[in-house]
């Protein structure tokens, strides 16, 4: 039996001593006001208990972590269209890279880099009646928690400064891989990314990926095969040009966001969320990655 409580305690003790906590994202101005020393973990061990430490209940900007949830909703609506319009290969490039998209004729490498996530946003704008409200309700349902909201200040802040995302969306449009208006799709995308959630809420929302497509309340949202595929993309593309490093150090499917959160999971076993706002140069939580490396090393629980 693993003593998860003391594992989390040891991890907190170790990582809080690391001096270099990385840099808080400031390219979205509204994100820079967060305390760099914040740290929290929430762990759901399937069939057992939940464990938490630090600021596991404090909400933060989920950002790119939400790309996994938007992909799940899009796949549940129209999987054929998703895989026709987005590839499933690691890009080896930063999340907001543009030039590869032009070389590859507007066909994004995967759904987790910004170009791919913007195509997924376009699919959702086309297939949902009230896209922003319906997506929010989907996440609330997954997390079994209605206290989840968009941070409209963050969405507006990104709208004011998201020039690269406008460039990406326009490039997609020029290649006929965006059906709706650029402004409409990006308004949805910026709101999606602004979801304000705690480690506990993220762990709960990701339960379905470790549970063959069934969420916490046992409702089937995506098939077991679709859950398997999304986990594979998290493993190979969830950390952009650091996906290899995350697989090497941690060995779990996972997804990061520039708000400093990371969610990772081992199917049938556990879902874990970590939050530490300082990022490494690749845009992933520096302390979050160290904490997860310690977690899989100490527990010997990884897919490898
Ligand atoms: O589009 C952006 O740049 C942000 N809304 C999300 C980027 C992000 O979280 C990258 N992940 N580490």
Ligand-binding annotation for 158, yes or no, is yes
- Residue 101: predicted pLDDT: 97
Mean predicted confidence (pLDDT) in 147-161: 97
Atom of ligand 1 nearest to the CA of 284: 12
Please tell me whether 189 is known to bind a ligand.
yes
Q: Helix, strand or coil for residue 145?
A: coil
Structural domain contains residue 169? yes
Q: Which ligand 1 atom is at minimum distance from the Cα of 283?
A: 12
The CATH number that applies at residue 101 is 3.40.710.10
Residue 304: inside a domain? no
Instruction: Kindly give the distance from the C-alpha atom of residue 260 to the centroid of ligand 1, in angstroms, as a whole number.
Output: 10
Q: What's the Cα-to-Cα distance from 18 to each of 158, 192, 286, rounded to whole Å?
A: 30, 32, 10
User: 243 in ligand 1 pocket by Cβ < 6 Å?
Assistant: no
Cβ of 256 closer than 6 Å to ligand 1, yes or no, is yes
152 pLDDT tier (thresholds 50, 70, 90) = very high
Task: Name the residue of 24, 30, 68, 95 whose CB sits within 8 Å of the most ligand 1 atoms, as the mutation to test its pocket.
Answer: 95
Instruction: Provide the number of structural domains found in the chain.
Output: 1
**Ligand 1 midpoint to CA 245 (Å):** 19
At 87, list the tokens. 């590839």
In this prediction, what percent of the chain has a pLDDT beyond 90? 100
Residue 150 counted as an annotated binding residue: no
Q: Is the residue at 163 inside a domain?
A: yes
Give me ligand 1 centre to Cα 141, in Å. Answer: 23
The CB of 193 under 6 Å from ligand 1? The reply is: yes
ipTM of the complex: 0.99
- Give the ranges where the chain is alpha helix by DSSP (H): 4-16, 66-85, 99-103, 114-127, 131-143, 152-161, 163-174, 182-193, 199-205, 207-210, 224-237, 243-249, 286-299
pLDDT score of 218: 97
pLDDT of residue 69: 98
User: Buried b / exposed e across 229-268, counting CB within 10 Å, b at 16+?
Assistant: bbbebbbbbbbbbbbeebbebbbbbbbbbbbbbbbbbbbe
DSSP notation for 3-62: -HHHHHHHHHHHHHT-S---B---SSGGGGGS-TT--EEEEEETTS-EEEEESTT--EE-
Of 257, 224, 222, give the one whose Cα is nearest residue 238.
257
97, 254, 258: which to mutate for ligand 1, most atoms within 8 A of CB? Answer: 258
Check pocket membership of 283 for ligand 1, CB cut-off 6 A.
yes
- With the C-alpha atoms ordered 292, 297, 303, 304, is the resulting torsion angle positive or negative? positive
Q: Is the CB of 284 under 6 A from ligand 1?
A: yes
Mean pLDDT for the stretch of residues 167-177: 98
> Which tens digits make up the pLDDT trace of 92-148?
999 999 999 999 999 999 999 999 999 999 999 999 999 999 999 999 999 999 999
Look at residue 34 and tell me if it is in a domain.
yes
The Cα-based distances of 90 to 60, 159, 232, 282 in angstroms read: 27, 27, 11, 15
Q: Is residue 267 part of a domain?
A: yes
User: Which residues does the annotation mark as catalytic?
Assistant: 64, 67, 189, 240, 258
Residue 205 is part of which domain span?
A: 4-299
Judge whether 182 lies within some domain.
Answer: yes
| Mean pLDDT, residues 167-190 | 98
The per-residue pLDDT for range 47-71, each reduced to its tens digit, is 999 999 999 999 999 999 999 999 9
Half-sphere exposure of 191 (CA within 13 A, CB side): 21
- Which pTM was predicted? 0.98
């Amino acid at each position: 039996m693993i003593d998860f409580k003391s594992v989390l305690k040891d991890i907190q003790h170790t990582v809080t001593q690391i001096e270099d906590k990385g840099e808080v994202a400031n390219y979205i101005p509204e994100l820079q006001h967060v305390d760099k020393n914040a740290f929290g973990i929430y762990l759901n061990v399937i069939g057992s208990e939940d464990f938490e430490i630090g600021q596991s209940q404090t909400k933060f900007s989920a950002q790119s972590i939400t790309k996994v949830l938007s992909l799940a909703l899009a796949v549940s609506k129209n999987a054929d269209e998703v895989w026709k319009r987005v590839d499933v290969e690691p890009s080896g490039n930063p999340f907001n890279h543009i030039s590869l998209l032009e070389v590859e004729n507007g066909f994004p490498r995967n759904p987790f880099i910004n170009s791919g996530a913007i195509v997924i946003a376009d699919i959702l704008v086309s297939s949902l009646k009230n896209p922003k409200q319906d997506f929010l309700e989907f996440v609330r349902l997954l997390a079994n928690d209605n206290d989840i909201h968009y941070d409209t200040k963050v969405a507006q802040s990104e709208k004011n400064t998201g020039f690269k995302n406008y460039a990406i969306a326009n490039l997609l449009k020029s290649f006929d891989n965006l059906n709706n208006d650029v402004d409409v799709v990006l308004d949805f995308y910026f709101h999606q990314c602004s979801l304000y959630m705690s480690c506990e809420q993220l762990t709960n929302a990701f339960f379905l990926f470790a549970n063959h497509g069934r969420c916490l309340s046992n409702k089937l949202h995506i098939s077991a095969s679709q859950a398997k595929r999304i986990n594979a993309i998290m493993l190979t593309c969830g950390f952009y040009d650091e996906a290899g490093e995350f697989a090497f150090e941690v060995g779990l499917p996972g997804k990061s966001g520039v708000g400093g959160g990371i969610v990772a999971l081992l199917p049938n076993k556990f879902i874990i969320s970590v939050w530490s706002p300082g990022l490494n140069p690749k845009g992933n939580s520096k302390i979050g990655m160290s904490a997860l490396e310690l977690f899989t090393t100490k527990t010997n629980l990884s897919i490898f």
